[in-house]
Amino acid sequence: MSLDVAVAVPFRQKGKTRLGEGAFVVALSLDRDWFSPDQAKRLIDVAAGRGLVSREDGEVVAEFDPNAVDVPENFTPDASVLREQSTFEMILDALVAAGHEKQTVVATVNERQRDLGVTLETAAVLYARRNGVDVADAAEKARGELLES
């Protein structure tokens, strides 16, 4: 996914797994000219929401191995990486990454939602758990969304 790649690049460029927030923003905005500084800060927020990075004492910390991410030679992220994914999209991505066919997952989850009378996210979590795909973070986010409503 391009979000993973866009986030990995500054860490790989500096050869570190921790960068000051300013250095991270500069790497994406001035060094690469991929985003404006405000967009680069937004990217940090989105990446933190996905569990790719965390913030500690003014630093952005990679919660994955940036060197394990394949960065295509002429990679340029598109603006869609700045959009936060819905809980359902996060679960769907995890299922597809685990080898499940996207159309089959969507159809089955929709059917389960109708049959059980639950939210789409709940049906997706159930599908993932029954198929051995770990979506604990998304399940917790879905639970929080239910409690807020």
Domain end, chosen from 65, 82, 99, is at 82
| Cα gap 7→15, rounded to integer Å | 13
Domain boundary pick from 34, 63, 82: 82
Q: Are residues 8 and 71 in the same domain?
A: yes
Q: Which CATH number is 29's domain given?
A: 1.10.10
- Nearest-angstrom CA–CA distance, 109 and 88: 10
- Do 38 and 77 share a domain, yes or no? yes
Together in a domain, 77 and 95? no
Please give the structure tokens belonging to residue 93: 């991505």
Name which of 15-29, 42-56, 117-131 the model is least confident about: 42-56
Q: State the Cα–Cα distance between residues 38 and 44, nearest whole angstrom.
A: 10
75 lies in the same domain as 92: no
Q: Note down the domain range covering 26.
A: 3-82
- Give the pLDDT confidence score for residue 1 in this predicted structure: 57
- Does one domain contain both 28 and 11? yes
> Is 0.75 surpassed by the pTM of this model?
no
- Last residue within a domain, chosen from 38, 57, 82: 82
Same domain, 60 and 109: no
Q: What are the backbone dihedrals phi and psi of residue 18, each rounded to the nearest 5 degrees, phi first? A: -135, 130
pLDDT band for position 144 (50/70/90)? confident
- Report residue 84's pLDDT band, with 50, 70 and 90 as the boundaries: confident
